[in-house]
Amino acid sequence: MWTARSLQLRLNTELALGVLPVPAWVAAAAFVSARFVSPALAWAASSMAVAGGLAWVVVHVRRHGYSEDQAAVVLDRAAKAGGLLLTVRERPSREWETALWEKVRDVRPPPLRIGRPAAMTAGALVFALIAAWVPMPEKPATSVDLAARSQVASAVGKAQTLASEMPLPEAISAELARLGEELRANSFDATDWEATDNVDDAIEDEARARGAALEKAAQAAERLAKTLGEGVEDEAVEREKEELEEALAELGEEARKKGGSESSTDSREAGGDADQSKAAEDRGGTNQAPSVKQGRGPRTRAEAQAMRDALDRRREELANRFADKGQGRGQAAGQRPGTGRGRGDNKGRPGFGPSHGPAEDTPLRFGDETKFQKDRLAFAPLPEGRGGDDSGTLWGMNRRAPTRGPGSPAAAPTGLASGLDQTPGANEGTVPPRHRELVRRYFDRPAATAPKQR
Partner 1 sequence: MPDLLTADELQAALGPAHRLREELARVLIDQPLVVERVVVALLARGHVLLEGLPGLGKTELCKGLAKLLALPFKRLQFTPDLLPGDITGTYVLEGGAERAMVFRPGPLFASVVLADEINRSSPKTQSALLEAMAERCVTVLGTTHELPQPFFVLATQNPIELEGTYPLPEAQLDRFLFKIDVPPVGAETLTKLLTTRLRGEAPKLSPVLDAAGLARLFAAVDRVYLPEPVAHFIGRLVAATDPRNPAAPEPISRYVKYGASPRAAIAIASAARAMALLAGKPNVGFDEVAHVAPAALHHRLVLNHEARLEQVTGASLSAQLLKLIPEVARA
What's the chain's Rg over C-alpha atoms?
45
Cβ–Cβ contacts within 10 Å for residue 379, how many? 4
The residue among 91 and 434 lying less far from partner 1, judged by its C-beta, is: 91
* Exposure of 81 in the CB half-sphere (CA atoms within 13 A): 27
Quickly count: other Cβ atoms within 10 Å of residue 211's Cβ: 18
Nearest residue (CB) to partner 1, 75 versus 148: 75
As a whole number of angstroms, the distance between CA 327 and CA 80 comes to: 96
Smallest distance, partner 1 to C-beta of residue 5, A: 16
Instruction: Classify each residue of 430-440 as buried b or exposed e, where b means 16 or more C-beta atoms within 10 Å of its C-beta.
Output: ebeeeeeeebb
Residue 72 or 179: the one with the smaller Cβ distance to partner 1 is 72
Question: Which long-range CB contacts under 8 A does 421-427 form with residues at least 24 apart?
Answer: 426/398, 427/398, 427/400
Stretch that binds partner 1, among 25-33, 59-67, 222-230, 307-315 (CB under 8 A): 59-67
- Least spacing, CB of residue 38 vs partner 1, in Å: 40
CB of 12 to partner 1, least distance (A): 11
Counting Cβ atoms within 10 Å, is residue 96 exposed (0-12), middle (13-18) or buried (19+)? middle
251 touches partner 1 (CB under 8 A): no
CB of 95 to partner 1, least distance (A): 6
The CB density around residue 72, as the number of other CB atoms within 10 Å, is 22
Q: Which residues ranging from 172 to 191 are in contact with partner 1 (CB under 8 A)?
A: none
Task: Output 90 or 360, the one with its CB closest to partner 1.
Answer: 90
| Closest to partner 1 by CB, 91 or 108 | 91
Contact 90/41 with Cβ under 8 angstroms? no
Contacts of 186 (CB under 8 A, 6+ apart): 139, 145
- Considering only residues 100-119, where is the footprint of partner 1 by CB under 8 A? none
Q: What is the closest distance, in whole angstroms, from the C-beta atom of residue 102 to partner 1 in the complex?
A: 14
Least distance in Å: CB of 10 to partner 1? 15
Footprint of partner 1 on 63-102 (CB under 8 A): 63-64, 66, 69-70, 72-74, 76-77, 81-84, 86-87, 89-91, 93, 95-96
Interface residue list for partner 1 (CB under 8 A): 63-64, 66, 69-70, 72-74, 76-77, 81-84, 86-87, 89-91, 93, 95-96
